[in-house]
Amino acid sequence: MAFLEIDHLRKAFGQITVVEDFNLAIERGEFVSFLGPSGCGKTTTLRMVAGFESPTSGIIRIDGKDVTEAKPNQRNVGMVFQSYALFPNMTIAENVGFGLKVAGRPAGEIKTRVEEMLALIKLPQVGGRYPYQLSGGQQQRVALARALAIKPKVLLLDEPLSALDAKIRVSLRQEIRQIQRELGITAIYVTHDQEEALSISDRIVVMSQGRMEQVGTPFEIYNYPRTRFVASFVGTLNVLKGQVVDAAAGKVTIDGQPIASASHLNGAKPGEACSIALRPEAVSLTDPTSGANSLQGMVEEVSFLGSVVRIRVRFGENAISLDTFNKPSVAPPAWGTKVTVSFARDALLVLDGAEAA
Amino acid sequence: MKRARIGPWIALTLGTLYFIVPLIATFEFSLRMRRGEYSFDAYRVVFADARFQATFGYSSLLALATIIVGVLLVVPTAYWVNLRLPKLRPVIEFITLLPLVIPAIVLVFGYLRLYNSESWLPMTGHEQATDLLLTFGYVTLALPYMYRAVDNGLRAIDVRTLTEAAQSLGAGWPTILFRVILPNVRVAVLSGAFLTFAIVIGEFTMAALLNRPAFGPYLQLIGANRAYEPSALAIIAFAVTWACMGLINLVGRGARTAAPAP
Ligand SMILES: Nc1ncnc2c1ncn2[C@@H]1O[C@H](COP(=O)(O)OP(=O)(O)OP(=O)(O)O)[C@@H](O)[C@H]1O
Ligand SMILES: [Mg+2]
Gap from B81 CA to chain A (nearest CA, Å): 17
State yes or no: pLDDT of B153 exceeds 50. Answer: yes
- DSSP for A234-297? SS--EEEEEEEEETTTTEEEETTEEEE-SS--TTPPTT-EEEEEE-GGG-BSSPPPTT-EEEEE
b/e B136-161 (16+ beta carbons within 10 angstroms → b): bbbbbbbbbbbbbbbbebbeebbbee
Look at residue B13 and tell me whether its pLDDT is greater than 80. Answer: yes
B260 vs A: CB within 8 A: yes
Which residue's alpha carbon is at the smallest distance from atom 16 of ligand 1?
A41
- The C-alpha angle with vertex B244 and arms to B241 and B248, in degrees rounded to 5, equals 140
Cα of A85 from ligand 1 centre, angstroms: 19
Neighbours of ion ligand 2 (CB under 5 A): A 43
pLDDT for residue B260: 43
Chain B residues near residue A79 by CB distance under 8 angstroms = 164-165, 168
- What average pLDDT score do residues B180-197 get? 89
**Do residues B139 and B69 make contact, with C-beta atoms less than 8 angstroms apart?**
yes
What single-letter amino acid sits at A105?
R
DSSP-derived pairing of the beta strands A31-35 and A203-208 = parallel
Tell me, in angstroms, the distance from the centre of ligand 2 to residue A162's CA: 11
Q: Does B174 touch chain A (CB under 8 A)?
A: no
Q: What is the pLDDT of residue A270?
A: 83
**For residue B48, what pLDDT band results from cuts at 50, 70 and 90?**
confident
The C-alpha atoms of residue A164 and residue B83 are separated, in whole angstroms, by 26
Q: What is the pairing mode between strands A77-80 and A154-158?
A: parallel
For chain B, the structural domain boundaries read 49-254
Candidate CATH numbers 3.60.20.10, 2.40.110.10, 1.10.390.10, 1.10.3720.10; the one for domain B49-254: 1.10.3720.10
Top mutation candidate among A40, A159, A196 for ligand 1, by most atoms within 8 Å of CB: A40
Determine the residue type at A157. Answer: L
CA A104/CA B133 separation, integer angstroms? 40
* Sheet strands (E) in A140-195: 154-158, 186-191
What whole-number distance in Å separates Cα of residue A102 and Cα of residue A84? 20
Would you call B175 an interface residue with chain A, using a CB distance cutoff of 8 Å?
A: yes
Distance B96 CA to ligand 2 centre (A): 35
Which residue ranges have their beta carbon within 6 Å of ligand 1?
A 13, 18, 36, 38-44, 192
Query: Nearest CA of chain A to the CA of B80: how many Å?
Result: 15
Q: Which residues of A touch B (CB under 8 A)?
A: 50-52, 71-79, 81, 83, 85-89, 98-99, 102-103, 130-132, 143, 146-147, 150
Tens digit of each residue's pLDDT (9 = 90 or more) over A279-318: 888 888 887 777 788 899 999 999 888 888 889 999 988 9
Q: Are A274 and A243 in contact (CB under 8 A)?
A: yes
- DSSP per-residue letters across A83-114: T----TTS-HHHHHHHHHHHTT--HHHHHHHH
For atom 19 of ligand 1, the residue with the nearest CA is A39
Quote the ligand 1 centre to A18 CA distance (angstroms): 7
Ligand of minimum distance to the alpha carbon of A192:
1
Quote the pLDDT of residue A357.
34
pLDDT in the model for residue B261: 43
B161 alpha carbon – ligand 2 mean position (Å): 13
Run of H or E residues at A34: strand A31-35
Cα B224 to Cα B152: distance, rounded to the nearest angstrom = 41
- Model pLDDT, residue B254: 58
pLDDT of residue B7 exceeding 90, the answer is: no
Q: Give the confidence band of B2 by pLDDT, cuts at 50, 70, 90.
A: low
Mutate to test the interface with A, among B87, B157, B169, B176 (most CBs of A within 10 A): B169
Cα atoms in the 13 Å half-sphere on the side-chain side of B93: 11
Model pLDDT, residue B103: 87
Cα torsion angle, B36, B40, B43, B47, sign: negative
**Per-residue pLDDT for B256 more than 70?**
no
Phi-psi region of B65 (alpha: psi -120 to 50; beta: other; left: phi over 0): alpha
Q: Flag residues of chain A having pLDDT under 70.
A: 351-357
The residue of chain B nearest to residue A133, with distances taken between CA atoms, is B262
Mean pLDDT of chain B: 86
Q: Which atom of ligand 1 is nearest to the CA of A45?
A: 18
